[in-house]
Amino acid sequence: MKVAVFVAPGKVEIRDVAKPVIQKPTDAIIRIIRACVCGSDLWWFRGIRAIEAESMVGHEAIGIVEEVGSAVNHIYPGDFVIVPFTHGCGQCVACEAGFDGDCLNQEKIKNGGYQGEYLRYTNADWALVKIPGQPQDYSDSVLNSLLALADVMATGYHAAVSAEVKEGDTVVVIGDGAVGLCGVIAAKMRGAKRIIAMSRHADRAELARDFGATDIVPERDDEAVEKVMALTNAAGADAVLECVGTQQSLQTAVRVTRPGAIVGCVGVPQQPEIKTEDIFWRNIGLRGGIASVTTYAKDLLLKAVLREEIHPGKVFTQRFNLNDIQSAYEAMDQRQAIKSLIVISQQ
């Protein structure tokens, strides 16, 4: 079977490898229908984060269950599923508290291989999210929105939950990648009245508005802070979604947060330092981390997509075949695509 692997910074290739097999009773083998490239994949693609050469890559997909282990009782061969990047067991204290991204029973293997034809998926019984019917029952755009639930929409939602976005809030979303754009959708779902999206790219700003942003701030640093303060009567936002992960974006996030409010962080931190005095003197809360993909997708987000109330699949602005994986990465790296879709099979 074919799968994408990391070769060197700036280079991914397709390899022919043995089809994965069930290794544990809790596994499932998934035949992938659609996968995609993630903003977080660009960190290693650009050589900023090191990963081993020949690592299988990709961590977001939808697919058909081909085979299940003996301890998988709720998922059956033939089921159409969302394949989250997380692997919650559904039973440990972290999963029960709603943090399945931090499941205590996850297998310590490198997550990858979703950009391929078949995948061995661990903790399949609870973590996979069953979609009613089969792929051919859905439109192209709904399939893309279902795919977005494997990571970016759930992660954007996690930012909004972490920041405790409430009805009537003014929310700032930092980051106009797919996660930030999904953060705009999430803020709207949770009843935000005003959503200020920080975006400096015309195509992304337009999609942010389509998703519910009421204001666009293209400035950065001091100018961005001034602009948000001007829009919020010099108070700052009731909730801030930080969807980038750099020092600069985190600092801006803290500065535009009103006293007592929370910054929900879902950008993977690139520089882990944070000045505690910036958060202390204004009672700023800081929380976030790995999204609870299954917790959000299983009920709330799946229903919202199937009722076509939300359309997170619009973040896929270019599509590729698995053989064109290099072009899929380059399109995102060069910001020609907001997010690259990889169509692996029609059904």
Pick the piece of the chain touching Zn ion (CB under 5 A) from 151-159, 183-191, 221-229, 263-271.
151-159
Within the chain, strands assigned E span: 2-8, 11-16, 28-36, 61-68, 80-83, 118-121, 129-131, 170-174, 194-198, 215-217, 237-242, 257-265, 285-288, 316-321, 339-343
Structure tokens given for 302:
């799946």
Query: Closest approach of Cβ 17 to Zn ion, in Å?
Result: 22
Return the residue of 57, 68, 75, 95 that touches Zn ion, per CB under 5 A.
Answer: 95
Return the residue of 42, 92, 229, 279 that touches Zn ion, per CB under 5 A.
Answer: 92
Measured CA angle at 36 (ends 156, 180), to 5 deg? 20
Indicate whether 315 belongs to the interface with Zn ion (CB under 5 A). no
d(CA 231, CA 72): 52
Using CB positions, name the residue nearest to Zn ion. Answer: 38
Indicate whether 242 belongs to the interface with Zn ion (CB under 5 A). no
Pick the piece of the chain touching Zn ion (CB under 5 A) from 9-17, 133-141, 149-157, 237-245.
149-157
Indicate whether 89 belongs to the interface with Zn ion (CB under 5 A). yes
Measured CA angle at 315 (ends 89, 319), to 5 deg? 95
d(CA 257, CA 250): 11
The answer to whether 37 and 338 have CB atoms below 8 angstroms apart is no
Q: Kindly tell me which of 128 and 237 has the beta carbon lying closer to Zn ion.
A: 128
Indicate whether 38 belongs to the interface with Zn ion (CB under 5 A). yes
Pick the piece of the chain touching Zn ion (CB under 5 A) from 9-17, 92-100, 163-171, 199-207.
92-100
Indicate whether 103 belongs to the interface with Zn ion (CB under 5 A). yes
d(CA 253, CA 238): 12
Q: Kindly tell me which of 149 and 196 has the beta carbon lying closer to Zn ion.
A: 149
Pick the piece of the chain touching Zn ion (CB under 5 A) from 130-138, 150-158, 270-278, 331-339.
150-158
Binding region for Zn ion (CB under 5 A):
38, 88-89, 92, 95, 103, 105, 151
